[in-house]
């Protein structure tokens, strides 16, 4: 029996409520048992997602509404994970574009909508968070129309249904205040306005792998849409590899999605989404197809990475104490594994065999990878993120971003000043009259490195910023790097409260007392522009004099605890972040003080260099 199916992806800017809406849809579809305890935002299932409250990986689920099966892909909204969205769109026939009714369309709204329009996927617009007191539903809807027009949407693409939702309480309205108390209007809109999948169950088999999963029982699991034909358990099929080869294999285990579970199936017909176990070497983008009558799908084309970081073996004196996997072989193997599932990352060899250049979409994406590795027991060092520069027809090009900064009126001046130093150009400024101002800039992607931390300091934590890759432009010349130096330990040992107390007026410290340090390790930020070698292990001299009471009770200013992202933002070209399962340390690349070039010389050189 051919069941009726709808395949949709939920797309939006970060935090606009996608995962919350999927939660409500699953609950109301009756997929959970009455007494089942289900976590909030249940689709955000991995540890880092739960800790950070963001979606990192696109994930499939499915529910039933009357006689229709609705396959849903929940996607991440943070721009660094845009590759996940691009891939998810391959699986579906339409999208729910969510927009926060107060924030309106933001850079990632534009990005995901553009991708959906290019793929000719019909959208349903969902204005979410209508319960917010600062919701401005009507204006935001106008902004969405403007966005469609700006993206050259065709006439029929403009005829989208609009729903108004409170994802938290699980209510959707066709018109505001229409008395609806549940999501039925949304389910109805999905069934009536998203086309049923095309594809012929009797045609030649065509399943494109768009996601990979792993289970301890089943090994690698390929997830993909059946575009044509019928996938049958036990059938002999071929895997059309990305480079043209065809590998015969048999299908051993087959599943379809239902809620948080997967149901074993004996067959999956064209239009549905399947999870398939038993293909060990299979990769994203490859097609499972008829051996006799192969019909490989178009390869997936994903936007290029714009940011690169060096990952290298930990060579610090404390290396190997906390991690299980420390060799360049270990790191290489882990990166190779990452490439299988993470299509928007690339790995290149560097000049030395101990270091790899890892390319991705942004600092957060790479930081998540590093964080995942360290939790798995890896030790490594990473260098300062650098922007990928291209040469085209002899011109040196660098990526630029569209940057939106939202901040209280009183901070506009300081924000403009910070951005000016990073070569940002103001493109637009809107004052919504709410006391906050929204500014749009074009800025070289390089200018974003470390920007978030800086702007949060500048605006006492009130600025919101969002950026989006906006193309390539002529290389704009050097940008000044961090304008403070580092406090660098000049010898190995354990930090003492006495030394810390003496040093704390020099700048801000990154370590507390009793911490093991080594020569060349960065223990704080100097208030001045030059690096300063310090003895942070100094003991108080024993004297015969009675200690004054002030000396006995040493009062230390609390040191700054650097998170991985803060550490990555902090370092300059001649520094590394050392990452182990237990520690995040900063260090100079050259540990030996006598052999280390002085940083102020480099700072001067880059400031004096002609643009």
Ligand X SMILES: Nc1nc2c(ncn2[C@@H]2O[C@H](COP(=O)(O)OP(=O)(O)OP(=O)(O)O)[C@@H](O)[C@H]2O)c(=O)[nH]1
CA atoms of 248 and 238, how far apart (whole Å): 4
Cβ neighbours, 10 Å, residue 62: 24
Residue closer to ligand X (CB basis): 84 or 531: 84
Q: Which helix (H) or strand (E) holds 584?
A: strand 584-588
Q: Choose, by CB under 6 A, the member of 7, 19, 71, 211 that binds ligand X.
A: 19
**Residue 158: closest CA among 148, 146, 168:** 148
Beta bridge partners of 516: 494
- For 45, residues 6+ apart whose C-beta sits below 8 A from its C-beta are 59
The verdict on 55 binding ligand X (CB under 6 A) reads yes
Q: How far is the CB of 33 from ligand X (least distance, A)?
A: 23
Q: How far is the CB of 185 from Mg ion (least distance, A)?
A: 22
Q: How far is the CB of 15 from Mg ion (least distance, A)?
A: 8
Q: Are 307 and 251 in contact (CB under 8 A)?
A: no
Q: Choose, by CB under 5 A, the member of 18, 90, 115, 374 that binds Mg ion.
A: 18
The verdict on 588 binding Mg ion (CB under 5 A) reads no
The verdict on 166 binding ligand X (CB under 6 A) reads yes
Structure tokens at 296: 């490989």
The verdict on 20 binding Mg ion (CB under 5 A) reads no
The verdict on 78 binding Mg ion (CB under 5 A) reads no
3-state secondary structure 530-548: CCEEECCCCCCCCCCCCCC
Q: How far is the CB of 341 from ligand X (least distance, A)?
A: 18
Q: What angle do CA 282, 288, 290 make, to 5 degrees?
A: 140
CA atoms of 405 and 52, how far apart (whole Å): 21
Torsion-angle region of residue 221: left (phi > 0), alpha (psi -120 to 50) or beta? beta
The verdict on 15 binding ligand X (CB under 6 A) reads yes
* DSSP-derived pairing of the beta strands 123-128 and 162-166: parallel
Q: Binding segment for ligand X among 16-24, 176-184, 258-266, 568-576 (CB under 6 A)? A: 16-24
Q: Choose, by CB under 6 A, the member of 6, 7, 8, 20 that binds ligand X.
A: 20
**Residue 57 CA, distance from chain mean position:** 9
The verdict on 409 binding ligand X (CB under 6 A) reads no
Residue closer to ligand X (CB basis): 100 or 519: 100
Q: How far is the CB of 184 from ligand X (least distance, A)?
A: 17
Structure tokens at 264: 């074993």
Q: How far is the CB of 592 from Mg ion (least distance, A)?
A: 47
Structure tokens at 144: 């969405």
Q: How far is the CB of 46 from Mg ion (least distance, A)?
A: 12
Residue 559 touches which of ligand X, Mg ion, none (Cβ within 5-8 Å per kind): none
Q: Binding segment for ligand X among 9-17, 357-365, 392-400, 518-526 (CB under 6 A)? A: 9-17
CA distances, 232 to each of 258, 323, 459, 472 (Å) = 19, 44, 59, 46
Q: Choose, by CB under 6 A, the member of 17, 94, 122, 399 that binds ligand X.
A: 17
Q: Choose, by CB under 6 A, the member of 76, 271, 360, 450 that binds ligand X.
A: 76
Burial class (CB in 10 A: 0-12, 13-18, 19+), 103: buried
Residue closer to ligand X (CB basis): 168 or 174: 168
Structure tokens at 610: 């002609």
Residue closer to ligand X (CB basis): 19 or 454: 19
Task: Please report, as residue ranges, which positions from 114 to 143 form the binding site for ligand X (by CB under 6 A).
Answer: 128-129, 131-132
Structure tokens at 378: 């890896």
Residue closer to Mg ion (CB basis): 16 or 587: 16
Q: Binding segment for ligand X among 161-169, 310-318, 444-452, 520-528 (CB under 6 A)? A: 161-169
Residues at the contact surface with ligand X, assessed by CB under 6 A: 12, 14-20, 41, 54-55, 76-78, 128-129, 131-132, 166-168
Residues of this chain that interact with Mg ion (CB under 5 A) are 18-19, 55
């Amino acid at each position: 029996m051919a069941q009726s199916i709808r395949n949709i992806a939920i797309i939006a800017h970060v935090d606009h409520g996608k995962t919350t809406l999927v939660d409500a849809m699953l609950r109301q579809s009756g997929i959970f048992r009455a007494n089942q305890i289900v976590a909030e935002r249940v689709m955000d299932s991995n540890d880092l997602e739960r800790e950070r409250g963001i979606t990192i990986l696109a994930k499939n689920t499915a529910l039933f509404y009357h006689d229709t099966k609705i396959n849903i892909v929940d996607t991440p909204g943070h721009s660094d994970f845009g590759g996940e969205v691009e891939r998810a769109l391959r699986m579906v026939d339409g999208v729910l574009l969510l927009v926060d009714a107060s924030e309106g369309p933001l850079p990632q709204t534009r990005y995901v909508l553009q991708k959906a329009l290019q793929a000719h996927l019909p959208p349903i617009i969902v204005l979410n968070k209508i319960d917010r007191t600062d919701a401005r539903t009507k204006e935001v809807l106008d902004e969405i129309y403007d966005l469609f027009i700006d993206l050259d949407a065709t006439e029929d693409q403009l005829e989208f249904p609009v729903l108004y939702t409170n994802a938290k309480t699980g209510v959707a309205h066709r018109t505001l205040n229409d008395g609806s108390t549940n999501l039925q209007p949304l389910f109805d809109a999905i069934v009536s306005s998203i086309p049923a999948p095309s594809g012929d169950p009797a045609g030649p088999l065509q399943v494109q792998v768009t996601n990979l999963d792993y289970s301890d029982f089943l090994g690698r699991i390929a997830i993909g849409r059946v575009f044509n034909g019928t996938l049958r358990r036990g059938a002999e099929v071929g895997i059309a590899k990305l480079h043209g080869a065809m590998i015969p294999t048999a299908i051993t285990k087959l599943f379809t999605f239902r809620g948080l579970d997967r149901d074993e199936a004996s067959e999956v017909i064209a239009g549905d989404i399947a999870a398939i176990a038993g293909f060990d070497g299979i990769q994203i983008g490859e097609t499972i197809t008829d051996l006799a009558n192969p019909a490989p799908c178009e390869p997936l084309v994903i936007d290029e990475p714009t940011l690169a970081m060096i990952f290298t073996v930990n060579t610090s004196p404390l290396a190997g104490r906390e991690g299980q996997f420390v060799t360049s072989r270990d790191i290489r193997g882990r990166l190779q594994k990452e490439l299988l599932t993470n299509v928007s990352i690339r790995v290149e060899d560097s000049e030395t065999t101990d270091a790899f250049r890892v390319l991705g979409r942004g600092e957060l994406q790479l930081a998540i990878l590093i964080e995942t590795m360290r939790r798995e027991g890896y030790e490594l060092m990473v260098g300062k993120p650098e922007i990928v520069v291209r040469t085209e027809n002899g011109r040196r090009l660098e990526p630029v971003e569209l940057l939106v900064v939202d901040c209280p009126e009183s901070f506009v001046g300081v924000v403009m000043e910070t951005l000016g130093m990073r070569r940002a150009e103001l493109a637009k400024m809107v004052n919504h009259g709410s006391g906050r101002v929204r500014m749009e800039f074009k800025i070289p992607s390089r200018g974003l490195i470390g920007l978030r931390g800086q702007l949060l300091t500048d605006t006492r934590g009130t600025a919101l910023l969002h950026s989006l890759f906006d193309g390539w432009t002529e290389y704009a010349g050097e940008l000044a790097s961090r304008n403070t130096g580092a406090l660098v330990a000049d010898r190995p040992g354990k930090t003492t409260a006495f030394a810390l107390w003496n040093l704390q007026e020099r700048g801000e410290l990154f370590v507390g007392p009793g911490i093991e340090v080594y020569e060349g390790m960065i223990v704080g930020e100097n208030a001045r522009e030059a690096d300063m070698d310090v003895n942070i292990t100094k003991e108080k001299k024993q004297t015969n004099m009675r200690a004054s009471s002030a000396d006995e009770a040493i009062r230390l200013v609390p040191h700054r605890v650097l998170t991985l992202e803060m550490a990555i933002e902090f370092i300059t070209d001649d520094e590394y972040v050392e990452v182990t399962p237990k520690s995040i340390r900063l260090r100079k690349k050259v540990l030996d003080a006598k052999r280390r070039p002085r940083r102020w010389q480099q700072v001067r050189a880059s400031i004096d260099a002609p643009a």
